[in-house]
Chain A
């Protein structure tokens, strides 16, 4: 091989490497900014969209229909994400303790169902696990990262949104689903807040990655 061809190939490879790093930096910056602007998840006070999903190993489509009179706690989580395991573990413990009897709890994954096997937490949890089958509805949840917990009240209104994993936070989210509140009042709550004053402001994956913690 001519020496110049060899040298030029390495120069091109180095140039491409630098450009890829620049693009990834920009992508990370954009995602972080989006999260910091409170654009993660649906806006608090908005009406939650229906979600269609299938359980692993099943073919029958099921629907979560917010506003059907039953509050819901929806967790977007993946078996390949350690923080998601924490969240699902907390949800599982609360389910086993009967703390979530008054509401419907659902874990939606984007990883292939076969990935459930790699996580003991996901494979053994008693919380309902499903995988969305259609994008309509799902897009309105704006899941830019996992874990993401969305609390929906009996009227189908989003009451709290955040990337939470601590038991106290998850418990507060569950309680927010059960609080009665007029929809008009909820609509005035800023998108980055939850509708109950004792619930910490929603935490984004970016904030979690930085180690920010509400104390």
Chain B
């Protein structure tokens, strides 16, 4: 019999995975924009290619973590990896607020125009808390998936990332057009 805590842990795990997939997909749609944010946290001498590589790695890591977390819920180490990722976001949010308040964080690429702020730290703290809750041990029967279930969830994960990429690309195109008109 599943306890409410187990339901909460699984809901946090699934929701977090979807958030990671959407964030990763949206970042990939505007890699130069996200690389500009990454640049804030790298040494000024870092070459553009390195900034892009770091930006791509973060986005790819989010998608991989989200997809793996959804399709392999039994892998306990994945929960720790997701927690580490979320803790990293919390740290970056805090650093960004202290050093570059008001600058766009590009946390969801073009999907969100939010910037480094107290609210952003709060959101990062919330997803970190969800990652902590997802660590709660649950019965193996609750998370056992067959091959079809895994494949279905992987397909859903791909769909979310692709939709986020499409939406962010569409919004980015609209912004480019507006900037072009304004100039």
Contact between B18 and A12, CB atoms less than 8 A apart: yes
Determine the chain B residues whose CB is within 8 A of the CB of A16 once the complex forms: 159-160, 163
Contact between B73 and A19, CB atoms less than 8 A apart: no
Interface residues in B1-59 (C-beta closer than 8 Å to A): 2, 6-7, 10-11, 13-15, 17-19, 21-22
Stretch at the interface among B88-96, B120-128, B167-175: B167-175
Q: Is B145 an interface residue (CB 8 A)?
A: yes
Q: For chains A and B in complex, what number of residue pairs have CB atoms within 8 angstroms? A: 85
Contact between A9 and B144, CB atoms less than 8 A apart: no
Contact between A19 and B170, CB atoms less than 8 A apart: no
Given the contacts A3-B6, A3-B7, A4-B73, A9 and B156 also touching, CB distance less than 8 Å: yes
Contact with B along A6-42 (1 / 0, CB 8 A): 0111111011101110110011011001000100000
Given the contacts A2-B144, A4-B143, A12 and B170 also touching, CB distance less than 8 Å: no
Q: Is A118 an interface residue (CB 8 A)?
A: no
Docked Cα-Cα span, A18 to B174, in Å, equals 19
Interface residues in B113-166 (C-beta closer than 8 Å to A): 141-145, 149, 152-153, 156-157, 159-160, 163-164, 166
Determine the chain A residues whose CB is within 8 A of the CB of B107 once the complex forms: none
Query: Interface of chain B, helix or strand or loop or mixed?
Result: helix
Docked Cα-Cα span, A208 to B170, in Å, equals 26
B149 touches which of A2, A11, A26, A33 (Cβ 8 Å)? A2
Q: Is B111 an interface residue (CB 8 A)?
A: yes
Of the A-B pairs whose beta carbons lie under 8 Å apart in the complex, a sample of 14, sorted by A's number, is: A2-B149, A3-B143, A4-B73, A8-B17, A11-B11, A11-B18, A12-B14, A12-B18, A12-B157, A12-B159, A14-B15, A22-B167, A30-B170, A33-B178
Given contacts A11-B11, A16-B159, A26-B171, 15 further A-B contacts (CB under 8 A): A3-B6, A8-B73, A8-B156, A9-B153, A11-B18, A12-B14, A12-B70, A15-B18, A15-B19, A16-B163, A19-B164, A22-B171, A26-B167, A33-B174, A37-B181
- Considering the complex of A and B, which 3 residue pairs feature the smallest CB-CB distances, nearest first? A11-B14, A15-B18, A12-B156
Residues of A within 8 A of B (CB): 2-5, 7-12, 14-16, 18-20, 22-23, 26-27, 29-30, 33, 37
Residues of B within 8 A of A (CB): 2, 6-7, 10-11, 13-15, 17-19, 21-22, 70, 73, 111, 141-145, 149, 152-153, 156-157, 159-160, 163-164, 166-167, 170-171, 174, 178, 181
